[in-house]
Amino acid sequence: MNGKNYIGGFMLAKSVLLTGSCAGLLTVACHAVSSNNLVSANEGKIMAVYGDAVSRTNPPPGWSFDWNANGNIGNSTGYVSLVCVATDDGRRKSFTYGVLDEAGALMPNRPSHRPYGHVRGVRGQDGAARYAIASYTMKEDARGEIWVHNGNILGGYCTLRIYLNDTLVSEAQVKREKDRLPVLFQKKLGALRKGDVIRVAVGPRGNNPGKFGGTLRFTIMDYPPGQVPGEPVNILWLPITASEPQRGADGRDTRYSAQHKAQCDAVLAQKPELVFIGDSIMARWPAKLLQETFGKYRPVNLGIGGDWVQNVIWRVLNGVLGQVRVKVVVLLIGTNNLAHRFTPEEVVEGIDRLIKALHEKTPGSKILLLGILPRGDSIRDPINERIRQINAKLALLGDNQTVFFLDIGDKLVEPDGSISKEVMPDKLHVALPGFVRWVEAMGPTLDKLLEAP
């Protein structure tokens, strides 16, 4: 790990500021870790995954979500269960594990867990620290040694604590960093027995009242005696220069790699002249429409839901496009990066690198680079201003020789600037009427590229 330093038991990367106390400190790092480090991690047995448990209204056996209502952290006899409550922010429905007031409404100034691991602790006006606590009770004796592994916490200015039963075994003060990388952590807990309770708590840092938290991930693992797992893996936020697969809440890429392999097999079997590649917007292309429109070119759709630019770079560099003769690659990517705090300049930088990767793997192919599609209720939504900035810069990547830029976004917008629910029912993904417009807008350009020598 470049720039690694050891201070007071913490494993730190440069630009990270952490402090800690107590005898058993967390091992902490802060940058993307190569997938090669997962070799030893995959030998362990997964006991429980926080990111999966907190994303369910009925957590798996062993899990509970609590808070120290009386302010006494470290004494579980005073903990109170958080209640799962349906929420609606006007754009989408979700749920929150939180605290209810006397009227049954969710209290905004209390600890909470939300799906995908958004966690918050608070310090009230009384000065007491209230933690959001994720507790897992061992359902069986460990065969080896239990680790809290692949821990990530992102975007927080908070205190992170790990307890075994009611004994504090690790603590770290997490600072929000400008580089937006998560703090990574892991902790060996030893040969635990059935009934032992592991608690990971997120609470306030400093003495000022307010809300403190971020996005949390960790996995409870059982490793053979003496086995040391690989370094924790960055799950939550990758630099735009990274080339990494998608990872699940447990830090593994097993499911994603299987999906990637299936797509590679399809490419080798069909030997396409036309390839579509991107995220879920591309993945949802209706297969019948694709075949009816471009069937003679044996099209293959390589869209995968949830992909960031960095994930597509990884797929291209670890794929098989170089083993077939693809005439045209249609590329649409970047909207998921915008939703995760990437700047327009970073998105363009990543797409530029992706184009170079495509040239490297399939140098004879032309690339039809599509502008990021508008999203939201209308083109006046703030995110669409950033999309316009990106598309203006993407246009400069087109040389009309190997890279051809095309922005079809205006064809998916109504004359008054609104985005119809017929075209984008969820304000992001395109439905069949939108794909019909897409074909009409893209077809002439794509036909010319496919028919050219």
Task: Look up residue 119 and give its two tokens.
Answer: 């966690």
Cα separations (Å) of 4 from 28, 239, 282?
10, 17, 39
Instruction: Establish whether 31 is a catalytic residue.
Output: no
Reading the block at residue 376, the tokens are 């939201």
Of 101, 166, 179, 426, catalytic: 426
Strands 167-174 and 183-190: unpaired
DSSP letter (8 states) at residue 19: B
Burial class (CB in 10 A: 0-12, 13-18, 19+), 116: middle
**C-alpha span between 317 and 311 (Å, rounded):** 10
CA angle 89, 250, 114 (to 5 degrees): 20
Contact 173, 213 (CB under 8 A): no
Task: Quote the pLDDT of residue 26.
Answer: 53
Q: Which of 76, 257, 280, 378 is catalytic?
A: 280
Our measurement of the distance from residue 377's CA atom to the centroid of its chain's CA atoms, rounded to an integer in Å, reads: 24
Whole-angstrom Cα distance, residue 388 to residue 379?
10
Query: Which residue from 337, 344, 336 is spatially nearest to 389, judged by alpha carbons?
Result: 344
Other CB atoms within a 10 A radius of the CB of residue 84 amount to 15
What's the pLDDT score for residue 91? 57
Which domains, from first to last, does the chain contain?
A: 4-223 (2.60.120), 254-451 (3.40.50.1110)
d(Cα 33, Cα 201) in Å, to the nearest integer? 25
| Residue ranges, the chain, pLDDT below 50 | 1-25, 29-41
Task: Give the integer Cα–Cα distance in Å for 63 and 57.
Answer: 12
Residue 377 known to be catalytic:
no
| Predicted TM-score of the model (pTM) | 0.88
- What's the pLDDT score for residue 90? 57
Establish whether 170 is a catalytic residue.
no
- The per-residue pLDDT for 346 is 97
pLDDT tens string 273-297: 999 999 999 999 999 999 999 999 9
In this prediction, residue 339 carries a pLDDT of 87
Q: Which two tokens stand for residue 252?
A: 């593994």
Tokens of 452: 């050219």
Q: What is the pLDDT of residues 323-371, one digit of tens each?
A: 999 999 999 999 999 988 899 999 999 999 999 999 999 999 999 999 9
